[in-house]
Structure 1
Amino acid sequence: MLRAHAGFRALLLGALLWRLAAAGNLELPTAVNVTWSSINFKTILQWQPKPSGYFYTVEIHGQTSDTQKKCILTTETECDVTDALRNVKETYTAHILSVQSAGMDNFEEPPFASSEKFTPYNQTILGKPEIQNYTQKDSKLNIVFQDPLTPYMFLNGSFQSIRDIFKHDLEYKLYYWKDQSSGKKEATTKSNTFEISVDNTNNYCFYIEATIPSRRENRTGQESMVFCTSVGRTILDEYGAEVFIIIAVIAIAVITLAIVLSVILCKRKKAKAAREKEPLNGI
C-alpha cells in the first residue's frame, strides 16, 4: 500500500514538472529576422535577438532528408549549417528552437521560429573568379581564370569548385573596355579562358563574373578584381594630359631661370672687367 502511494506521488510530481517545463518553454521568446547568407555554398543562418536566460538550437528540415540539429544550446545568433545542406538541390527550412536547458525540450516541442525556404543550388551567391593570367599581344587579349571553390570536398580531400556542382549550367561573362574609356563590351564563355579581338594600339581593362542563366534570382555573381593591360603605354597614357602639361610648364620654367641666371652672370663679368680696365685715381 505504501509503495503504491509512493508511486502515485512520484507520478503526480512528474506530471507537475512536465506542466511547469512546458509552461516555461511557451513563455520563452522566439527568434526573429531569420535569414540565410550563402556564398559558394558556404551557408550561415542568422537571427535575433541575443538570448538571456535561455538557449537556441537549430533544426534543419529537408523535403526528403532527415532532420538535422546544429549549434545545439548556443547563445550565438548565427550558425554555420553548410554541412547540413550537402544535397544542394534539396529545399530546406530552418527552425530556431528556444530552450532553457539540455533536458527541457524532451517534454514537449519548444517554441521556435521558422526560416523561409532555401535551395542552395538556386540561391547561393556565386563568388569572385580569380584571374590567373592575362596577355595582350597584337590584336588578341587572352585571359585565364579559376573557378571559385566551395566548402565541399571530394573523397581525395580536394575542394569542389562551383563548376563541379553547376556543370553545364555555369557560364562566365567578361566585361572589357579601352583604358580611360567608359564604353563596355562583353563576351561569354563556358570554359576558364577568354580570347578577345582588340585594337592593338590601345590598352584594355576588364573584369569577370560567374552567371547561371537558368536561375530566376541571383543569376550573376560577384565581380572579380579589375585588371588593365599595359602594352605600348606611353607617359601620356599612364599619367594623363594634365600631368604632362605640368611637367612641360616646370621644364620651361627651369630653362627660363637658367637663361636669366646666365644673362645676369654675363653682365656681372662684363662690369667687373670694365672696372679693372679703368686707370687708378691719382696716378
Structure 2
Amino acid sequence: MVNAPHYKALAPPAPGHTSSSFPRAQDVTWTSTNFKTLLTWGPKPSEDYSYTVEYAAIGQNRDQNPHCIRSKETSCDLSSSLSQLNKTYIAEVLSEPPRGVSSDLVEFPHTSSERFCPYQDTNIAKPDFKIKEGRDRRSVTLDVVDQLTALFEGDRQLTIRDVFADELQYRVTYRRATSTGKKVVNSKSKTIEMTGLDQDQSYCFEVQVFIPSRKGDKQLGALSKPQCSKGEKPFTDVYSVPVIAGGIFLILAVVAIIVITVVCCKRRSNKAKNNEKEGQPLSSV
C-alpha cells in the first residue's frame, strides 16, 4: 500500500495528544456474504477518539468511504466501495480525534486487515428451490432461485448469476428418504432434471452454489434446507376408477345395512314394551 497520508490541522491542535491517546483498533475482520461486505473491529471508542477506514486495491491509491470517517461505529459497509470484484483489497482502521477536533500528530495509529478479494472470498448463502415430480414417477425437476447480491448496476440489483455468469454451477446432493447413502450431481442450469430415480420412491435433495474457479472451501456455498419428493403413487394410479366406485358403493351398502338393522331393532324393542303394558291389569281407583 502507499504511504499513510499527512493530516493537516483543522484547528489549533489540542495539547497533549500523542499516539497513545488513540488506542489501536483490534480484530479487524472482513465479513462478506453474497457481496454484502463489512469490515468490523473493536473496541467501541470513548469520547476522546474515533475511527476512520481507508481501503485500497493492491497497487492502487487509498480511498475512504464517506460514512466511515471519524466515526463512533465499529463496522463499515464497503459493499459498494469494492467495485473491482476481482481485485485484492487491504483496509486500515485509523484511530483519530473525534469530529471537529484537530491533532498535531502526523500519522495516526492504525491496524491493517487481511487481504480480501470479493469475487474469490465472499461467502454464498444457501439457495431456495422448488420440487416438481415427473408423471413417470422416475424423475424430479429442481427449480433453483438465483440469489440476489448486495451489488447494483444502476437501479437493478444483481444476482449471483449476473456476477459469476458461466462459472456459476449448482451442486445437488440427494438420497433415498429411507437411506443414508448420498449421490452428487453438478449442473450449470438452475433448472435441474433428476432422472433415473427408482419409481415411487421418496428422495431428499439439498442444493448449494458451486464455483469451480474458486479455491478450497470457497468453491461451495451454504447447503440449502433439504426437501423431499412424495414418491408414493397417487390413489388413482393404484386403483382404477371402477374399483374405486365399487369400493364406495360397498361402503355405502354396509352403512345402509347398519342403519336399517338399528331401526328394525329399535322398532321391535318399542313393540315389545307396548305389549307388556297392555298385558298388565288395571289398578283399582
TM-score by length of 2: 0.71
Deviations along 1:138-191, one digit per CA (max 9) or x if unpaired, are 12211222322222233x532332233333433211122334554433211112
* Structure 2 residue 215 is the aligned partner of structure 1 residue 215: yes
Instruction: Output the CA distance in 2 between the equivalents of 1:207 and 1:106.
Output: 59
Do the aligned partners of 2:90 and 2:112 also contact (CA within 8 Å) in 1? yes
Instruction: Output the CA distance in 2 between the equivalents of 1:105 and 1:61.
Output: 25
Secondary structure in 2 matching 1:86: coil
Judging by fraction of residues, say which structure has more helix. 1
Q: C-alpha root-mean-square deviation of aligned residues, in Å?
A: 3.4
Instruction: Output the CA distance in 2 between the equivalents of 1:274 and 1:39.
Output: 89
1:188 is aligned with what amino acid?
N
Q: CA deviation at 1:105?
A: 6.1
**Structure 1 vs Structure 2: percent identity of aligned residues?**
31
Q: Rate the CA distance shift 1:229–1:18 in 2: closer, same or farther, 3 A.
A: same
Secondary structure in 2 matching 1:82: coil
Which stretch shows the higher mean deviation, 115-124 or 133-142? 133-142
Q: CA deviation at 1:206?
A: 1.9
Q: CA deviation at 1:21?
A: 6.3
Do the aligned partners of 2:50 and 2:70 also contact (CA within 8 Å) in 1? yes
2:224 is aligned with what amino acid?
S
Instruction: Output the CA distance in 1 between the equivalents of 2:15 and 2:140.
Output: 73
Q: CA deviation at 1:115?
A: 1.4
Secondary structure in 2 matching 1:217: helix
* Structure 2 residue 149 is the aligned partner of structure 1 residue 150: yes
2:86 paired residue number: 89
Q: CA deviation at 1:39?
A: 0.7
1:276 paired residue number: 277
Structure 2: 5+ residue stretches without partners: 1-8, 236-254
Structure 1: 5+ residue stretches without partners: 1-13, 236-254
TM-score by length of 1: 0.72
Q: Rate the CA distance shift 1:179–1:106 in 2: closer, same or farther, 3 A.
A: farther
Q: CA deviation at 1:95?
A: 0.8
1:195 paired residue number: 193
- Following superposition of structure 1 onto structure 2, how do residues 61-100 of structure 1 map, counting pairs within 5 Å? 61-70=56-65, 71-100=68-97
Deviations along 1:43-81, one digit per CA (max 9) or x if unpaired, are 011111111111111111320332111211111111101
Do the aligned partners of 2:174 and 2:203 also contact (CA within 8 Å) in 1? yes
Secondary structure in 2 matching 1:272: helix
* Structure 2 residue 44 is the aligned partner of structure 1 residue 45: no
